[in-house]
Amino acid sequence: MSARPTQSTPVLALTMGDACGIGPEIIARLWLDAAMPQALVLGSPQVMRRAAEWVACAQSRTAPLVAEIHDPKNWANVPPGAVPVWAPPGLPADLMEAPVGQVDVRAGQAAAACIRAAVRLAQTGLIAGIVTAPLHKEALALAGEPYPGHTELLQAEGAPQGQPPAPVRMMLANEQLKTVLVTIHMALRQAIEAVTFESVLETIRITHDSAKLWGVDQPRIAVAGLNPHAGEGGLFGDEEIRIIGPAIAAARALDIDVSGPLAPDTVFMRARHAADHPGEFDVVIAMYHDQGLIPVKYMGLDHGVNVTLGLPFVRTSPDHGTAFDLAGTGRADPSSLLQAWRMARQLVSGRGGA
């Protein structure tokens, strides 16, 4: 069993995510399974107590104690094995009335409030990083948020006052493969238009600079093409010739080890690390959301971790969604959240590894 946390231990914030989804339940499982992360949960104590009961019932075990913290500075002052939960400002008073397993505006409001509070704690140095449980993008929109997801909300909130948001990129990683996206949450037609010389070069630079977090000073970066066969010399599209290739050349001029544009249907296999076959590359840059995420998720949702690169603080999350069909059953698998917590700890400590 893990030792009782101390005030001197760097702490991570675990945001509850969508209260109507599985986020509260997979967080409760971390304590029920004795992982007991050095983490402060941001969310509703009532929602977390309900989730702990559901999980304990499904496992035929005793629910972990959920201890409400009134000051986040006192996160460690809880009984051994208890889940420290702080309710940040902005949580709807009637959040418990939101129907489990359904999209609800109150869940969107609560999820956004937890994210904003976590960013403030990171900016003040009270926490070392943020691990986010899944939120629902439709609920976020219903709450009036102009951001399509976690990444964009964190980017906006993480900007120093009076300064524009820093460019960020989404990386999905497991032990076998890391992939970083040039474009994230937008329609495919818009994503193609958003693949520009500047966006590709910026993605390469952010990926190169961020690799130090996981212990690689000079990463071998592969860049996937946009079109089939990376355009086949212009036969299937010329974005590789006009945009992607010149961006790669500019990155090489900055002494970055980058290859491409490479055929999207084989580059991920070439980069995949196996016990008996190390990959040719440390990370692959993909042009759009599904191009990069399908290969990683195909290897299993229980080990994938979402990492936001370019933020002034560490942020990770599981690579799955709110799973409304499982919400309230207590049976949701916490493996990806556990991996996200472990990776956040590694990135914060500088030990590296996925």
Q: What are the average pLDDT values for consecutive 10-residue runs of the chain, which has 354 residues?
A: 49 96 97 86 98 96 95 91 96 98 98 96 94 96 92 89 88 93 93 97 96 90 97 93 98 98 96 90 97 89 85 92 96 93 86 43
Specify the number of domains making up the chain.
Answer: 2
In-domain check, residue 304: no
What residue has token string 């000051």? 71
Q: Considering 273, 299, 325, which residue would you say is the last residue of a domain?
A: 299
In-domain check, residue 260: yes
Is there a single domain that holds both residue 224 and residue 277? yes
Please report the pLDDT score of residue 303 as a whole number.
Answer: 77
Please report the pLDDT score of residue 354 as a whole number.
Answer: 42
Kindly write down the DSSP assignment for every residue of 277-330, as one continuous string.
B--S-SEEEESSHHHHHHHHHHT-TTT-EEEEETSSSEEEEESS---TTTTTSS
In-domain check, residue 164: yes
Is there a single domain that holds both residue 6 and residue 131? yes
Please report the pLDDT score of residue 350 as a whole number.
Answer: 65
Is there a single domain that holds both residue 8 and residue 147? yes
Is there a single domain that holds both residue 193 and residue 160? no
Is there a single domain that holds both residue 146 and residue 206? no
Please report the pLDDT score of residue 6 as a whole number.
Answer: 47
In-domain check, residue 305: no
Q: Which residue range is the domain that position 210 belongs to?
A: 175-299
Is there a single domain that holds both residue 258 and residue 315? no
User: What is the CATH classification number for the domain harbouring 76?
Assistant: 3.40.718.10
Is there a single domain that holds both residue 48 and residue 136? yes
Is there a single domain that holds both residue 283 and residue 345? no
Q: Which amino acid is at 248?
A: I
Is there a single domain that holds both residue 325 and residue 257? no
Please report the pLDDT score of residue 160 as a whole number.
Answer: 82
Q: Considering 280, 299, 318, which residue would you say is the last residue of a domain?
A: 299
Q: In what order do the strands lie in the sheet with 314-318?
A: 66-69, 83-86, 39-42, 12-15, 129-132, 314-318, 305-309, 169-173, 178-181, 283-286, 221-224, 258-262
Please report the pLDDT score of residue 26 as a whole number.
Answer: 97
Please report the pLDDT score of residue 329 as a whole number.
Answer: 97
Is there a single domain that holds both residue 154 and residue 186? no
Q: CA separation (Å) from 338 to 42, 63, 266, 343?
A: 17, 18, 30, 9
Do residues 232 and 262 touch, judged by C-beta distance below 8 A? no
Is there a single domain that holds both residue 13 and residue 88? yes
In-domain check, residue 226: yes
CA distance 92 to 94: 5
In-domain check, residue 236: yes
Please report the pLDDT score of residue 10 as a whole number.
Answer: 66
In-domain check, residue 189: yes
In-domain check, residue 319: yes
Is there a single domain that holds both residue 194 and residue 160? no
Pairing, β 169-173 against β 178-181: antiparallel
